[in-house]
Homo-oligomer: A and B are copies of this chain.
């Protein structure tokens, strides 16, 4: 068996794509100062592996089957409030990033980041220093300027995106059609869209909804 080396950064990876997982593992294991101690293919597994290994850094992809990134961040921070979590995402517009950010993940980067940036991010997060790629930081600033949707509006938006009519939305949310219209109107105004279909397109681009 391999001898345990001291002072290495112990990493747990979570991504539903084996290619990416294998890739990240290869990159990390090539470094002298870090090693992968666990690889998860979904959210549940990620949590289990975190508890098992208590790694120095958890690298987490946002969108995964069975519990997405946001839920995993929540749960892991419940287990260990000092957990060092690095979030990766494919989609630069992904709204969920900001949810993770406000919840206490320490680093955020995009999947199209170069190898060196990923390693820097892991090292930074392992030392409890925050790491945010400039791309994500820029998005954060952009986002500040734009009006945010309320929870209820997000509920309505989700149903609109599924192609539901106002009447149908009203039924599902136990409100009147008029109220549904009020919410839709607010959504259109906030997203600067003329029609519900355009609103869906805009919302999807901003990562507010996942079709």
B residues less than 8 Å from A195 (CB atoms): 163, 165
Chain A, 151-177, CB within 8 A of any chain B CB: 160-165
Q: Are A163 and B193 in contact (CB under 8 A)?
A: yes
Q: When chains A and B are docked, how far (Å) is the Cα of A165 from the Cα of B197?
A: 9
Chain B residues positioned under 8 Å from A127 (CB to CB): none
Q: How close is A18's CB to chain B, nearest CB, in angstroms?
A: 5
Interface size class of A (residues with CB under 8 A): 35 or more
Does chain B have a CB within 8 A of A194?
yes
Is A111 an interface residue, CB under 8 A from the partner?
Answer: yes
Q: Give the number of times this chain occurs in the complex, counting copies.
A: 2
User: Do residues A163 and B26 form an inter-chain contact, with CB atoms below 8 A?
Assistant: no
Query: Assuming the A-B contacts A26-B26, A205-B211, are A197 and B161 also in contact, with contact meaning beta carbons closer than 8 angstroms in the complex?
Result: yes
Residues of B within 8 A of A204 (CB): 204, 211
Chain B minimum-CB-distance residue to A194: B163
Complex contacts, A199 vs chain B, CB 8 Å: 163
A19: contacting residue among B16, B24, B200, B201, CB under 8 A? B24
A163 touches B24 (CB 8 A): no
Contact present for A19 and B20 (CB under 8 Å): yes
Q: Which of A1-9, A113-121, A141-149 is the contact stretch?
A: A113-121
| A17: chain B residues within 8 A (beta carbon) | 90, 111-112
* Contacts A/B (CB < 8 Å), 21 sampled: A18-B112, A18-B113, A18-B115, A19-B27, A19-B115, A20-B23, A22-B26, A23-B27, A26-B26, A160-B197, A161-B201, A163-B193, A163-B197, A163-B199, A163-B202, A164-B198, A165-B194, A165-B195, A197-B197, A204-B204, A204-B211
